[in-house]
């Protein structure tokens, strides 16, 4: 039991931090431009595939730097030549634009790398068990992912709260016109934030690529979860995004390892509905089976009972 | 401006009787068209595609009750479509087993009620919010229902779904609905009925309140309506029609499976509605017809048809947010003012550079596809009857030249087109046809 809890906690925190790498960019972009970027998970996917390609040519470490930079540039281009032109048609048009973009990026990735998963391996330098708890080897690569994620979170937090750049970004969030009057180039700030957000998703892609599966459906699988994270945490709140990421990471990891169903809980009562009926199905569903839908249950509950999200201060 | 409105009002009054009969004639013509289409397009494929178009029209129109009429962006409309399909299939199976005297033509009603019922339940939760929050809840609910459908196997039949036999029900006029042509007429009849009902709905005070809530919910509130209630009612009715569409789909395929709930399905209806034009009633109809056609025909021509589809959608969002219907309607006043001829000349001039850009883009995409996905087939490919090596420089040079040259010419022609447009608009304005 203790083993299960420890390993699940480590995995849950790791998954949560990966979610946070993406959610932080998404929530920053939302609070700045009011756009919920549907294509954010696609940048994560681009990061993974570019990371895979560059690591084949030049090794993993150059890929870790180059791929996020390329993804960030792509993100900036998307903002400059796409989103900025759509802005005049309103928020629905912006949301639809990113929706179409996600569609196109998935198709492009399929054209170049195909539909089946690619063989993206952990670098040889980190391919050893870091430590052993209760006879379970914990891979060093996972530890490396943890360290990178935490480092980026701390870096982002310090940059936003303690530097001049962070000050301008924060000011542009709430008072874009005032910031423009003070002589700052607000459209450029927007473009940079979009680019940096995309780059963060790109980093998540490169480091998650070898650990999770790198395939063309990875964006569609993760995208909805990201929305759950930013909405549950409160749109525009960085702390909220961190909290919700960890919450959902832990929730899903623990749920998957619990193989309990109602029939187990009420085994003593002697009540067992017939199989192949609706009640029979519900009675036999294990917690592990409903793990994928738990985030959405959480999303609906939060939106009903606390529409601002757990940490947000404005209505979604 | 008020002059123009008065003048238009007086002409409308003068046309009185004819003006009122014109819509009726249009509906009669549509009914006639639906009846005659299978006689014009006789092949089996055409009949299948026509049936799918009928279903897609109902589905897209029901979606537009949310997006276009009430201003609610939903990413989970397939939920009501899928549930309508499942309930219809179960109802048919149940009617066969119990030997109930219910004809097949009545079965989509079951789908409609299922859609309505679940729209009431889910709508109660989601329509409390509008805008982005509503869109997110709809996405969450869609994921929830989609995942649940794989867990509750007894009702949803797991991965393979639930199948049925549409020919075993009570027969009317000796129609057993075995042949596709009979199913087509069933779908066409329902399509016409749903189109008429949904159109009528837009003309009611409720339909107008939906538009008011879309445009400015605060002011709608001042008039004394609760926007939340208006949104809820629109959502329920939209679920009803989506359920009917789903019921028809399940009759068409004799199957309901979890793919009906997929994000692809929800995405497609959004794409179809927006490409067709959410601002006009005919928009979703155009979009449904076009998108169904492209899905069935383009997939034979190219493997990456979905990419073209996505690019078409992005182009619509960026350059023609009114969709196809919006583009067409823009020309109404100009046509009535008799200024269309000058504008058409400018369009013809733009045709060449735009065609060059399109051909260049298609060349690049197809060569990329050939070198990427289809690398195993070698580098020689064939397009438009010409074979060439996708790895050689010449085709790439040609494609890039077409893209760059066409783009530059299009930029030049754009100014000319804009001037022609202003001129035509000016003529229409002088004649009091636009403000």
pLDDT of residue B354: 86
Higher pLDDT, B133 or A163: A163
Could you tell me the pLDDT band of residue B54, with boundaries at 50, 70 and 90? Answer: very high
Residue B155: band (very low, low, confident or very high) from pLDDT cuts 50, 70, 90:
confident
B372, A111: Cβ pair inside 8 Å?
yes
A280 touches chain B (CB under 8 A): yes
Phi first, then psi: what are they for B234, rounded to 5°? -60, -40
- Residue contact A293–B144, C-beta within 8 A: yes
Quick check: B384 pLDDT over 80?
no
If DSSP codes are grouped into helix, strand and coil, which group holds residue B298? Answer: helix
Residues of chain B positioned with their CB less than 8 A from the CB of A282 = 152
CB atoms within 10 A of CB A188: 11
Q: Which residue has the higher pLDDT, A206 or B303?
A: A206
Is B274 in Cβ contact with A299 (below 8 Å)?
no
Distance (Å) of CA A314 to CA A31, A38, A126, A172, A190: 10, 20, 43, 17, 21
Kindly state the tokens that stand for A28: 């920053």
A309 in Cβ contact with A234 (< 8 Å): yes
Which residues are paired to B255 by β-bridges? B163
Residue B173 pLDDT more than 50? yes
Nearest to A104 by CA among B256, B55, B267, B405: B267
Q: Mind listing the pLDDT tens digit for each residue in B355-369? A: 888 888 888 888 888
Q: Find the CB nearest B125 among A36, A278, A304.
A: A304
Q: Report pLDDT for A254.
A: 84
Determine, for residues A104 and B373 on separate chains, whether the beta-carbon distance falls below 8 Å.
Answer: no
Q: Can you point out the beta strands (E) in B337-431?
A: 380-383, 386-389
Taking only the tens place, the pLDDT of each residue in A192-232 is: 888 988 998 998 888 888 888 788 888 888 888 888 888 88
Lowest mean pLDDT among B46-60, B83-97, B203-217, B387-401: B387-401
What is the rounded average pLDDT of the residues B177-188?
83
The whole-number average pLDDT for the span A117-143 is: 74
Q: Which of B139, B154, B310 sits opposite A103 (nearest CB)?
A: B310
Q: CATH topology for A2-305?
A: ABC transporter involved in vitamin B12 uptake, BtuC (1.10.3470)
The DSSP code for B377 is G
A225 touches A19 (CB < 8 A): yes
Contacts of A101 in chain B (CB under 8 A): 314
Does the distance separating the beta carbons of B304 and A303 come in below 8 Å?
A: no
CB contact under 8 Å between B151 and A289, yes or no, is yes
In B131-240, which ranges are E strands? 162-163
- Of the candidates B370, B417, B296, which has an alpha carbon nearest to the alpha carbon of residue B53? B296
Question: Number of Cβ pairs closer than 8 Å across A and B?
Answer: 127
Phi/psi region, residue A266 (left: phi>0; alpha: psi -120 to 50; beta: rest), is: alpha
Span B397-435, pLDDT tens digits: 888 888 888 888 888 888 888 888 888 888 887 877 665
| A264 lies within 8 A of chain B by CB | no
Query: What is the average pLDDT value for chain B, to the nearest integer?
Result: 82
Q: What is the mean pLDDT of residues B87-105?
A: 84
A68/chain B closest Cα distance in angstroms? 23
3-state secondary structure chain A: CHHHHHHHHHHHHHHHHHHHHHHHHHHHHHHHHCCCCCCHHHHHHHHHHHHHHHHHHHCHHHHHHHHHHHHHHHHHHHHHHHHHHHHHHCHHHHHHHHHHHHHHHHHHHHHHHCCCCCCCCCCHHHCCEEEEECCEEEEHHHHHHHHHHHHHHHHHHHHHHHCHHHHHHHHHHHCHHHHHHCCCCHHHHHHHHHHHHHHHHHHHHHHHCCCCCCCCCHHHHHHHHHHHHHHHHCCCCHHHHHHHHHHHHHHHHHHHHCCCEHHHHCHHHCCCCCCCCHHHHHHHCEHHHHHHHHHHHHHHHHHHHCCCCCCCCCCC
Position B60 pLDDT exceeds 90: yes
> Are A303 and B133 an interchain contact pair (Cβ–Cβ within 8 Å)?
yes
Chain B residue numbers with beta carbons less than 8 Å from the beta carbon of A280 are 154
Q: Where are the domains of chain B?
A: 23-330, 333-430
Chain A hits for B373, Cβ within 8 Å: 110-111, 114
Distance from CA of A214 to the nearest CA of B (A): 16
Q: How far apart are CA B367 and CA B334, in angstroms?
A: 42
State ipTM: 0.84
The confidence score (pLDDT) of residue B16 equals 47
Top CATH class of B23-330 equals mainly alpha
DSSP state of B179: S
The reported pLDDT for the residue numbered A268 is: 67
- What whole-number distance in Å separates Cα of residue B211 and Cα of residue B194? 20
Rounded to 10 degrees, the C-alpha dihedral B273/B279/B281/B285 comes to: -20
Query: Do residues B316 and B323 touch, judged by C-beta distance below 8 A?
Result: yes
Q: Is B103 helix (H, G, I), strand (E, B) or coil?
A: strand
Interface check for A278 against chain B (CB to CB < 8 A): the answer is yes
A169 phi/psi in degrees, rounded to 5: -60, -45
Residues B69 and B283: beta-carbon distance below 8 Å: no
Bridge pairing between strands A129-133 and A136-139: antiparallel
Using an 8 Å Cβ cutoff, are A142 and A211 in contact? yes
Answer whether residue B13 shows pLDDT above 60.
no
């Amino acid at each position: 039991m203790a083993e299960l809890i420890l390993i699940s906690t480590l995995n849950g925190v790791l998954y949560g931090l990966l979610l946070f790498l993406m959610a932080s960019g998404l929530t920053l972009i939302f609070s700045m431009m009011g756009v919920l970027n549907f294509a954010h998970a696609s940048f994560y996917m681009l990061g993974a595939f570019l990371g895979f390609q560059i690591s084949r040519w030049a090794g993993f470490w150059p890929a870790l730097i180059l791929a996020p930079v390329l993804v960030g540039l792509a993100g900036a281009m998307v903002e400059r030549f796409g989103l900025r032109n759509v802005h005049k048609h309103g928020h629905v048009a912006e949301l639809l634009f990113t929706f179409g973009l996600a569609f196109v990026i998935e198709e492009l990735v399929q054209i170049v790398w195909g539909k089946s998963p690619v063989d993206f391996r952990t670098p040889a330098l980190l391919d050893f068990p870091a430590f052993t708890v209760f006879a379970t080897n914990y891979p060093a690569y996972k530890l490396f992912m943890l360290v990178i994620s935490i480092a980026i979170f701390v870096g982002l937090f310090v940059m936003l709260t303690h530097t001049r750049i962070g000050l301008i970004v924060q000011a542009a969030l709430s008072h874009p016109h005032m910031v423009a009057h003070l002589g700052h180039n607000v459209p450029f700030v927007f473009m940079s934030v979009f680019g940096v957000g995309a780059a963060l998703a790109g980093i998540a892609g490169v480091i998650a690529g070898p650990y999770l599966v790198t395939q063309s459906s990875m964006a569609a699988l993760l995208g909805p979860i990201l929305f759950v994270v930013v909405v549950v945490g409160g749109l525009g709140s960085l702390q909220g995004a961190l909290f919700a990421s960890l919450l959902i990471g832990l929730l899903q990891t623990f749920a998957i390892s619990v193989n309990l169903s109602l029939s187990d809980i009420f085994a003593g009562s002697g009540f067992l509905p017939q199989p192949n009926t609706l009640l029979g199905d519900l009675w036999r569903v294990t917690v592990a089976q409903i793990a994928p839908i738990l985030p959405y249950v959480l999303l609906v509950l939060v939106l009903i009972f606390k529409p601002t999200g757990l940490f947000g201060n404005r209505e979604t | 401006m008020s002059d123009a409105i008065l003048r238009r009002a007086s002409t409308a009054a003068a046309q009185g009787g004819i003006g009122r009969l014109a819509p009726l004639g249009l509906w009669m013509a549509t009914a006639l068209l639906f009846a005659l289409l299978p006689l014009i397009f006789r092949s089996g494929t055409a009949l299948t595609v026509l049936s799918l178009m009928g279903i897609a029209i109902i589905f897209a129109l029901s979606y537009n009750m949310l997006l276009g009429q009430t201003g609610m962006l939903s990413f989970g409309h397939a939920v009501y479509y899928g549930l309508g399909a499942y309930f219809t299939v179960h109802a048919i199976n149940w009617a066969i087993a119990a030997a109930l005297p219910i004809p097949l033509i009545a079965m989509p009603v079951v789908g409609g009620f299922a859609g309505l019922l679940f729209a009431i339940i889910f709508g109660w939760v989601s329509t409390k919010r509008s805008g982005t929050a509503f869109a997110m809840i709809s996405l969450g609910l869609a994921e929830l229902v989609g995942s649940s459908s794989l867990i509750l196997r007894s009702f949803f039949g797991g991965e393979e779904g639930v199948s049925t036999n549409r020919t075993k029900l009570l027969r009317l006029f000796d129609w057993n609905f075995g042949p596709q042509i009979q199913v087509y007429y069933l779908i066409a009849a329902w399509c016409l009925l749903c189109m008429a009902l949904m159109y009528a709905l837009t003309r009611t005070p409720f339909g107008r309140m939906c538009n008011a809530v879309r445009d400015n919910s605060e002011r709608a509130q001042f008039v004394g309506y609760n926007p939340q209630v208006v949104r809820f009612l629109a959502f329920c009715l939209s679920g009803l029609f989506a359920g009917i569409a789903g019921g028809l789909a399940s009759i068409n395929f004799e199957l309901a499976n979890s793919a009906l709930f997929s994000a692809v399905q929800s995405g497609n209806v959004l794409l179809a509605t927006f490409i067709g034009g959410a601002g006009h009633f005919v928009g979703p109809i155009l979009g449904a017809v076009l998108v169904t056609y492209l899905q069935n025909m383009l997939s034979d021509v190219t493997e990456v048809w979905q990419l073209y589809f996505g690019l078409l959608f992005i182009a619509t969002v960026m350059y023609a947010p009114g969709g196809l219907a919006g583009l067409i309607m823009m020309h109404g006043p100009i046509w009535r003012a008799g200024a269309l001829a000058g504008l058409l000349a400018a369009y013809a001039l733009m045709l060449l550079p735009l065609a060059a850009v399109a051909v260049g883009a298609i060349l690049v995409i197809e060569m990329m596809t050939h070198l990427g996905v289809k690398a195993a087939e070698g580098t020689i490919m064939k397009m438009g009857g010409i074979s060439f090596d996708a790895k050689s420089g010449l085709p790439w040079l040609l494609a890039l030249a077409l893209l760059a040259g066409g783009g530059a010419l299009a930029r030049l022609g754009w100014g000319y087109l804009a001037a022609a447009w202003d001129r035509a608009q000016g003529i229409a304005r002088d004649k009091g046809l636009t403000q």
